[in-house]
Amino acid sequence: MTWLEKLKRNKTMDPVTAALYLVPAGVVVVVFRMIPIGSAFLLSFFDVKMGRIRGFVGLAQYARLFQDPTFWSSLGTTAYYVLGVVPLSLFLSLFAAVLLNQKIRALGFYRTVYFLPVVTSLVAVSMVWKWIFHPRLGLLNYFLQFLGGGSLQWLEEPRGILEMATGALGWNWWPDAFAGPSLALIAVIVVAIWRGIGYNIVIFLAGLQNIPDQYYEAARIDGASPRQVFWKVTWPLLSPTTFYVLLSTTIVSFQVFTQIYLMTGPPVGGPMGTTKVIVYYLFEKGFDAGGNMGYASAVALVLFGIILTLTLVQRRIVERRVYY
């Protein structure tokens, strides 16, 4: 009797066999996750330049980090990016998923169209959108001019959108702290939402299709309107899916790098550093600015702590409203 036949007959598996099945995944996690995290933690306490450890510095890297204004500005830029991507991505993907969950013609075609950007190379997507946002030859400015509007600098515009809006109204003074994200960062946010919305739509569709039909039938019998059905039935039962999408989108948004690297600059992170996010700041310190891997590791650990803290806060606050 083979092991598969024994498994089908006994419906159980001994601990040794179960452990053997976990070994390949465990090796991947240890080699590509745990060891790099442990190495980064250790390197953050050493002065490491050009691949050579020059000495133990203790917490000096962290003290220097928190005194660096560039770190704080890149962290603020990342916060703008996350606050722009996460809410809009959740709303738009849920809205599209509800529409695609209806019985309409060519439904498979629409689902494919929405998911196509997800499987498209991020490098190709970034380069195409960079040309779309081109201030002189870009397709977007062409349509703006066709509609009677003016051209915008998009990826070359360092001013904040609030500063630009008030300037258009004749108020030419606006504090830098309240200028908002730059138009260049808004352009990157648009690309991120456009590319990632298809994945979230698929997740929301799976959640919508797992809601039993009897709940909807009972609501209609009671005379509930479509709006009441959504808020009283769909939304509560979709809360586990929404919670997962919120967590995953937040984590991915904090790790943005490729779009910034390919769409902005030169120098990367421009114009005037208004698109320099925390991960590019990490890359810059670790590879461009003399290769200080110890300092870059400290940045990575701080970013890890921020993401972990936000995840725990979301689980603490948002998960209370999740209905399993």
User: Domain for residue 222, yes or no?
Assistant: yes
User: Domain for residue 185, yes or no?
Assistant: yes
Q: What is the pLDDT of residue 275?
A: 92
Query: Residue 82's domain spans which residues?
Result: 44-321
User: Domain for residue 54, yes or no?
Assistant: yes
User: Domain for residue 36, yes or no?
Assistant: no
Give the C-alpha separation, 322 to 314, whole Å. 11
User: Domain for residue 9, yes or no?
Assistant: no
Q: What is the pLDDT of residue 1?
A: 52
User: Domain for residue 26, yes or no?
Assistant: no
User: Domain for residue 272, yes or no?
Assistant: yes
Q: What is the pLDDT of residue 5?
A: 63
pTM for the whole thing? 0.88
Alpha helices in the chain (DSSP H): 3-10, 15-29, 35-43, 60-66, 69-100, 107-119, 122-132, 139-146, 161-168, 183-209, 213-221, 226-229, 235-237, 239-254, 258-263, 278-283, 293-317
Judge whether 192 and 253 are in contact, CB under 8 Å: yes
Q: What is the pLDDT of residue 11?
A: 57
Q: What is the pLDDT of residue 272?
A: 86
Q: What is the pLDDT of residue 87?
A: 94
Q: What end-to-end distance do the CA atoms of the chain give, in Å?
A: 41
Nearest CA to 269 out of 289, 284, 290, 249 is that of: 284
What is the DSSP-derived secondary structure letter of residue 318?
Answer: G
Q: What is the pLDDT of residue 104?
A: 75
User: Domain for residue 12, yes or no?
Assistant: no
CATH code assigned at 275: 1.10.3720.10
**Tens digits of pLDDT across the chain (324 residues):** 565 565 556 556 677 887 888 899 999 999 998 998 898 889 889 888 777 788 888 888 899 989 999 999 999 999 999 999 999 999 999 999 998 888 777 777 888 888 888 988 999 999 999 999 988 888 898 988 888 878 888 898 888 888 887 766 666 666 666 778 889 999 999 999 999 999 999 999 989 988 888 998 998 888 888 889 888 888 989 999 999 999 999 999 999 999 999 998 788 888 888 899 999 999 988 887 667 888 999 999 999 999 999 999 988 888 778 877
Number of domains in the chain: 1
